[in-house]
Amino acid sequence: MADKPRSPIESGCPDAFQYMHPVMRKNYGQWKYHEHPKPGVLRHVAYSGDEIWTVRCGTQRILDIFTLRTLCDIGDEFADGYIHFTIRSNVEYMVSDEAKVEPLIKAIEDAGFIVGGTKNSVTMISHTQGWLHCDIPGTDASGVVKSMMDELIDEFRENNMPNRVHITTSCCQINCGGQGDIAINVQHTKPPKINHDLVSNVCERPSVVARCPVAAIRPAMVNGKPSLEVDEKKCICCGACFPPCPPMQINDAEHTKLAIWVGGNHSNARGKPTFQKLVAAGIPNNPPRWPEANAIVKSILKAYKEDAKDWERINDWIERIGWPRFFEVTNLPFTKYHVDTWRGARNSLNASTHIRF
């Protein structure tokens, strides 16, 4: 007879204090200020006078066990045995003594990781699973990020941007990658191709109908079998029907493209948080190095770096110079597809005589 299954311990989210650097634990809620001595290094000072030095580094994010152990070895030998991960999957080592900082940086770099990602840098691109593990991906996030970070590595290491730059990628239009100063997202350009033989077996048809944002899907009998049909004129090619109904294949080697969006900003600093806006589309989904998408991202970064004032995030910069100038300085075409048609679209139209010449 099989063993009785083990009941789970529903412990939920673990307490962080047991894994926290003792200086951080001791000064919890008692930090006074921080400084940024150099790229990749932060110095936080507590009211008690204690200090914690942080060294941040970028990795490949998909960590094999050898790499994870290397990161731990560095932590044990040079960094008091503690590791913190940022929201963008950067690794942070904390030490309580300034003298440990330089040997730590050397150990990180000798192991092939990249110190940086703080303040006015292009920090690690936040990314999703892609072809490596997702069930609905139009592209591979890890590969896009690797090829892009190869080209942006100096911007990760240095602080040459007007403010911090958060880049995100998403492998479908659900946009798990979230909002970014620059977002590289899949944009499908053709309606799904339906395998009618499979729909009735695989898909819960009413759920699929309900999932469509524009009510373009309806039940239908095709070749004597219950299936679904798509009004291709209404279809916005978003791919929302594909996850609940895989026979509605949306990914396509040629017609799945990339689009680039800018100006997403989560912070409330200066202005309220903003969502990203479409600036470029129709970009080939071109593995293994995605050169076309890379080139556009780099041209946007170049224009931003040259033209933005200190502390302007990309959305602040565009707010100041205006969209006509943005398209001018980035040499990107402005098309009818940039004019919004979704709910609330009218609020995005210019109802004034504020015109840029």
Peptide bond between residue 288 and the one before it cis (omega within 30 degrees of 0) = yes
Q: Scanning residues 130 to 159, which ones bind other proteins (CB under 8 A)?
A: 130-140, 142-143, 146-147, 149-151, 153
Least spacing, CB of residue 109 vs other proteins, in Å: 11
The first and second tokens of residue 200, run together, are 């009735």
Least spacing, CB of residue 129 vs other proteins, in Å: 8
Q: Scanning residues 197 to 216, which ones bind other proteins (CB under 8 A)?
A: 207, 210-211, 213
Phi, psi at 170, each rounded to 5°: -140, 140
Residue of 48, 72, 291, 302 that binds other proteins (CB under 8 A): 72
Asked whether position 224 contacts other proteins by CB under 8 A, the answer is no
How far apart, in whole angstroms, are the C-alpha atoms of residue 279 and residue 296? Answer: 10
* Residue closest to 92 by CA, chosen among 84, 100, 80: 84
The piece of 86-94, 215-223, 297-305, 331-339 that touches other proteins (CB under 8 A) is 86-94
Residue of 123, 187, 227, 251 that binds other proteins (CB under 8 A): 251
How far apart, in whole angstroms, are the C-alpha atoms of residue 113 and residue 124? Answer: 12
Q: Scanning residues 8 to 37, which ones bind other proteins (CB under 8 A)?
A: 8-21, 24-25, 28-29, 31-35
Name which of 289 and 328 has its Cβ closer to other proteins: 289
CB-CB contact of 199 with 245 (8 Å): yes
Least spacing, CB of residue 171 vs other proteins, in Å: 8
Rg value, the chain, Cα: 24
Name which of 221 and 339 has its Cβ closer to other proteins: 339
Q: Scanning residues 105 to 124, which ones bind other proteins (CB under 8 A)?
A: 112-114
Residue of 225, 231, 232, 273 that binds other proteins (CB under 8 A): 273
How far apart, in whole angstroms, are the C-alpha atoms of residue 143 and residue 132? Answer: 9
Name which of 132 and 221 has its Cβ closer to other proteins: 132
How far apart, in whole angstroms, are the C-alpha atoms of residue 303 and residue 285? Answer: 24
Residue of 120, 187, 227, 285 that binds other proteins (CB under 8 A): 285
The piece of 78-86, 97-105, 219-227, 298-306 that touches other proteins (CB under 8 A) is 78-86
Distance between first and last Cα of the chain: 82
Binding map of other proteins across residues 154-193, x = CB under 8 A, - = no contact: -------------------xxxxxxx--------------
Name which of 31 and 328 has its Cβ closer to other proteins: 31
Distances (CA, A) of 70 to 44, 73, 96, 110, 163: 26, 5, 21, 11, 32
Burial 208-234 (b: 16+ CB within 10 A, else e): bbebbeeebbeeeeeeeeebbebeeee
How far apart, in whole angstroms, are the C-alpha atoms of residue 122 and residue 91? Answer: 15
* Residue closest to 187 by CA, chosen among 206, 174, 199: 174
Name which of 106 and 309 has its Cβ closer to other proteins: 309
Least spacing, CB of residue 264 vs other proteins, in Å: 8
How far apart, in whole angstroms, are the C-alpha atoms of residue 182 and residue 297? Answer: 8
Q: Scanning residues 42 to 71, which ones bind other proteins (CB under 8 A)?
A: 44, 52, 54, 58-69, 71
Q: How many residues bind other proteins (CB under 8 A)?
A: 116
Least spacing, CB of residue 275 vs other proteins, in Å: 5
CB-CB contact of 170 with 176 (8 Å): yes
Name which of 227 and 294 has its Cβ closer to other proteins: 294
Residue of 38, 50, 83, 299 that binds other proteins (CB under 8 A): 83
Q: Scanning residues 304 to 323, which ones bind other proteins (CB under 8 A)?
A: 309-311
